[in-house]
């Protein structure tokens, strides 16, 4: 935690308590941690007596909640970026390492009377007026829980579902090294509200339309193994093209789970999936097992993320993106 942590938490609580309007935002193309944490906080703030207005949004265009996150409670509190206050009295940012990750909501963030930043990226730039940033936290959901607790708001089931979704997402269903005893203690607290972990897991990971099987198959068939990459630790990569998605009738976000199949490969420390978006830009997801910091690598390519899970965007031929990645891997 940066700065004097306790002072920062105290001023965050006072800032929220004193506000007549609180505006929430999370990073563009939100994942379960970004949207789950934000909606949990939105429900928490809206549940409290008083006439404080609460709005929440993210800067995607078109503005659509990703399919796998449509089960999250609190979506009635969402507004489109165009309807977002231009100069919020108090704004809270969730899971964004830098202000540009808010997309079009970076403007309101820069103009806000107070900006509270809740995040766990080691690369966080400290762009808030109050920065509640803890790289040791397994998820932004951990920090959102702390703020909800400090505000004295009891955890309802609707709040717990969002926080639990964040925890599950960022720990890879309690599989990653960040899964500390404290993570399981928080999970226990959230489950004790009576929420169903099976429902959350199924919504997040265990459902897809039939056509996804064809998209997955096309992508797996093209997988390349480069055993000599990363100083002999190995790289495995593949693509999901616009043509694959058009054939399956699926949006970009449907390609997200492909990396979890690719990264199983024993012969590679690093895995990458290049997903072609609707504009023809490649959205690259990278994962590592233990030795390589893909967060650093992706930051060098204009992206960012964590040591074991990160990403960047690339315009050009996918082979060039892989070549750029390979050069950095060999250097690291």
- Interface contacts to Mn ion, rule CB under 5 A: 33, 95, 140, 170
Within 8 A by CB and 6+ apart from 238, the residues are: 219, 220, 222, 223, 224, 258, 262, 272, 273, 274
C-beta closer to Mn ion: residue 204 or 229: 204
Q: How many CB atoms are located within 10 Å of the residue 188 CB?
A: 9
Q: Is 249 exposed, middle or buried (0-12, 13-18, 19+ CB in 10 A)?
A: exposed
Residue 223 Cβ vs Mn ion, minimum distance, rounded to whole Å: 27
C-beta closer to Mn ion: residue 15 or 140: 140
Residue 165 Cβ vs Mn ion, minimum distance, rounded to whole Å: 11
Three-state DSSP class for 53? strand
Residue 139 Cβ vs Mn ion, minimum distance, rounded to whole Å: 5
C-beta closer to Mn ion: residue 56 or 268: 56
Task: For residue 182, give both structure tokens.
Answer: 């404290």
Residue 30 Cβ vs Mn ion, minimum distance, rounded to whole Å: 10
C-beta closer to Mn ion: residue 124 or 241: 124
Q: What is the DSSP letter of 70?
A: T
C-beta closer to Mn ion: residue 95 or 276: 95
C-beta closer to Mn ion: residue 170 or 276: 170
- In this structure, are residues 25 and 105 in contact, taking their beta carbons and an 8 Å threshold? yes
Residue 257 Cβ vs Mn ion, minimum distance, rounded to whole Å: 17
- Kindly provide the residue ranges of all beta strands, DSSP E only, lying in 136-288, ordered along the sequence: 224-226, 235-240, 270-276, 282-288
Cα-based torsion angle of the residue sequence 142, 98, 174, 224 in order, rounded to the nearest 10 degrees: 180
C-beta closer to Mn ion: residue 133 or 262: 133
Three-state DSSP class for 57? strand
- In this structure, are residues 109 and 94 in contact, taking their beta carbons and an 8 Å threshold? no
Residue 170 Cβ vs Mn ion, minimum distance, rounded to whole Å: 5
Residue 121 Cβ vs Mn ion, minimum distance, rounded to whole Å: 7
Residue nearest to Mn ion (CB): 33
How many CA atoms within 13 Å lie on the side-chain side of 74? 28
């Amino acid at each position: 935690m940066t700065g004097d942590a306790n002072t920062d938490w105290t001023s965050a609580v006072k800032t929220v308590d004193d506000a007549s309007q609180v505006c929430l935002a999370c990073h563009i193309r939100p994942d379960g941690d970004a949207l789950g944490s934000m909606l949990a906080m939105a429900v928490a703030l809206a549940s409290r007596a008083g006439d404080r207005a609460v709005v929440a949004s993210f800067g995607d265009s078109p503005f659509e909640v990703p399919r796998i996150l449509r089960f999250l409670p609190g979506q009635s509190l969402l507004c489109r970026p165009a309807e977002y206050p231009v100069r919020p009295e108090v704004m809270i940012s969730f899971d964004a390492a830098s202000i540009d990750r808010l997309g079009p909501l970076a403007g309101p963030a820069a103009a806000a009377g107070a900006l509270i930043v809740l995040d766990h990226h080691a690369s966080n730039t400290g762009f808030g007026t109050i920065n509640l940033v803890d790289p040791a936290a397994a998820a932004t959901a951990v920090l959102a829980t702390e703020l909800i607790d400090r505000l004295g708001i009891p955890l309802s089931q609707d709040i717990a579902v969002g926080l639990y979704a964040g925890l599950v997402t960022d720990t890879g269903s309690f599989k990653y090294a960040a899964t500390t005893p404290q993570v399981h203690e928080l999970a226990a607290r959230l489950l004790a509200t009576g929420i169903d972990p099976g429902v959350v897991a199924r919504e997040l990971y265990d459902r897809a339309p039939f056509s996804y099987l064809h998209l997955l198959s096309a992508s797996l068939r093209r997988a390349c193994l480069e055993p000599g990459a990363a100083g002999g630790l190995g790289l495995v990569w593949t693509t999901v093209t616009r043509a694959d998605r058009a054939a399956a009738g699926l949006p970009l976000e449907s390609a997200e789970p492909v990396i979890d199949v690719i990264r199983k490969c024993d012969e590679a420390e690093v895995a990458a999936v290049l997903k072609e978006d609707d504009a023809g830009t490649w959205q690259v997801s990278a994962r590592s097992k233990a030795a390589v910091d893909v967060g650093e690598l992706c930051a060098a390519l204009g992206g960012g993320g964590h040591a074991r899970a990160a990403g960047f965007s690339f315009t050009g031929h996918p082979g060039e993106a892989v070549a750029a990645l390979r050069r950095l891997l060999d250097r690291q």
